[in-house]
Amino acid sequence: MDERGVVEALVSDDGRVVFLGSSDEALAYRDKDTKVIDLRGYYVLPGLIDAHLHLAGLGFSLDWINLRGVRSIEEMKARIRQESQDKELILCRGWDQELFAERRFPTRHDLDEAMKDKPVIAFRICGHLAVLNTKALELIGLRRILEGPYKEYFERDEKGNLNGIVKEKGLSLVHEAIRGDEEYYLSAIRRACIEAAKHGITMVHAMSCTLEELKAIVTLRSRGELPIRVRAYLSYDVFKTIENIERLRAMNDDMFKVCGIKVIADGSLGARTAYLSEPYHDEPSTRGELLISKEELGEIMDRALDTNMQVAIHAIGDGAVEMVLEVFEDRKEEVTRLRHRIEHASVLNEDVVELLRTVKPVVVVQPHFIISDWWIVRRLGQRRARLAYPFKTLMRHCVVAFSSDAPVEPVNPWVSIEAAVTRGMDIGIELGKLTAHERLSLEEALRCYTTGSSYACSEERRAGVLREGGYADFVVVDKNPLNTSKVKVLATFVNGNKVYEARPGVVEAIQA
């Protein structure tokens, strides 16, 4: 599949595609060093691009205890007991209290019952909230919690004691406590890249990059050990501390670029911290909260503009999306030129759609949220849910890029594509029935995962597309991806080099 449709053969040289067309013509490029690969009727498509994930987080999570799909606090405790044998620090992710038979959040006491003598930290599926056992609270330091600037992010029970739940900014103390050494980061990032390549991803946008992450990526790049392309969006706190951003960006090359900064405007729907224009349907006492004011966002954008950095803003609730769009509206030229992005844009309303139409930011979404947020109709009520994850509507007005937000959702893009195409209708997701008109075709979904995502980092001429002069990044799959999302990735190539194959020799090189 390329801009001219389906072609028979592709020639790459020095990491770039130099020819697309018939096999006969392609063979004319052959010299004694040429490797000819016979694809035996398999399908080739441009490498997919995940426009929003957390690279180190994904790498770390590969050996965390996975609590996704756990149906009760009792099951959560049993899982932690079973899988924590040889670990000193027990890290878990993926629980969702909405699925629990007990219908409540777990507390430090629940975790103490699972494990008393080692610290346990269990992140909720959204990553915006965690529950800690007593040992883990001690690991962070009770004084730092109780007297520090983030004390209100640590919840208390009726008696005023910490109940183990930590939210949003308070999590920075948690992340600090579990931070590993340099080697730990190098291996996490390498593993995350390989995991992505396994599913046909050849480029990722690494969001909220920390300094440790950035250093590790740069080290891997300079050693020639970065398996796939990485585009970094620094967390704003990191951006502030880097004295010479121009010097950092002067090191950009085809494998790694620093593109922009990530700013967070609100929380998540799961934790009811996403900022809605009206109260939550299932909790009328709150409409979530903005984590940044219009003025603060404006100032951040001014600083970003000084160094021509693209800005990517996390906004989930329609109230937050609207606030961001209003700030963008005053900077239309800049939004168009630097392609400022809104991350998530999960809930819209008619006014917000109208604003999107005039402001036209890049919108980066995560189709698999439709499956994980199966309760969303309850949160929003039927009327507002009609504009939840409205991908078709978004595509009418903006360039839409697809992503996983891994480790929040699975990094496998094919399950995200499936979610965008079915909207969970086949598995009884309520939102699917309400918003059937927002389903995408396979071709549209693939476009979002390729050119949509490369547009989001201003590389649509080179990446996410197979064209002469573009990157020789491509994926071999067993079935036609325009007919089904249930394909098997057989091999992944970056710069014309094989970085993954499903089994040795699956795409056999024949010397013709």
Q: Which residues of the shown chain bind Zn ion in the complex (CB under 5 A)?
A: 405
Per the CB < 8 A criterion, the answer to whether 472 and 44 are in contact is no
Closer residue to Zn ion, CB minimum distance, 316 or 487: 316
- C-alpha 348/C-alpha 399 separation (Å) is 16
Closer residue to Zn ion, CB minimum distance, 233 or 256: 233
Say how far residue 58 (Cα) sits from the centre of its chain: 9
Q: Which residue has the tokens 């309520």?
A: 430
Closer residue to Zn ion, CB minimum distance, 2 or 405: 405
Closer residue to Zn ion, CB minimum distance, 204 or 380: 204
| Nearest distance, CB of residue 207 and Zn ion, angstroms | 5
| Nearest distance, CB of residue 206 and Zn ion, angstroms | 10
- C-alpha 140/C-alpha 403 separation (Å) is 32
**Residues 6 or more apart in contact with residue 461 via CB below 8 angstroms:** 467, 469, 470
Element of type H or E holding 290? none
Closer residue to Zn ion, CB minimum distance, 199 or 344: 344
Per the CB < 8 A criterion, the answer to whether 315 and 323 are in contact is yes
Amino acid making up residue 375:
W
Closer residue to Zn ion, CB minimum distance, 320 or 477: 320
Q: Which class for 37: exposed (0-12), middle (13-18), buried (19 or more C-beta within 10 A)?
A: middle
Closer residue to Zn ion, CB minimum distance, 267 or 496: 267
Please give the order of strands across the beta sheet that includes 90-95: 65-66, 90-95, 120-124, 129-132, 162-167, 154-156
Q: Which residue has the tokens 């024949």?
A: 510
**Residues 6 or more apart in contact with residue 206 via CB below 8 angstroms:** 53, 54, 55, 213, 217, 230, 231, 232, 233
- C-alpha 83/C-alpha 453 separation (Å) is 37
| Nearest distance, CB of residue 407 and Zn ion, angstroms | 9
Closer residue to Zn ion, CB minimum distance, 17 or 48: 48
Q: Which position's Cβ is nearest Zn ion? A: 405
Q: Which residue has the tokens 């690494």?
A: 206
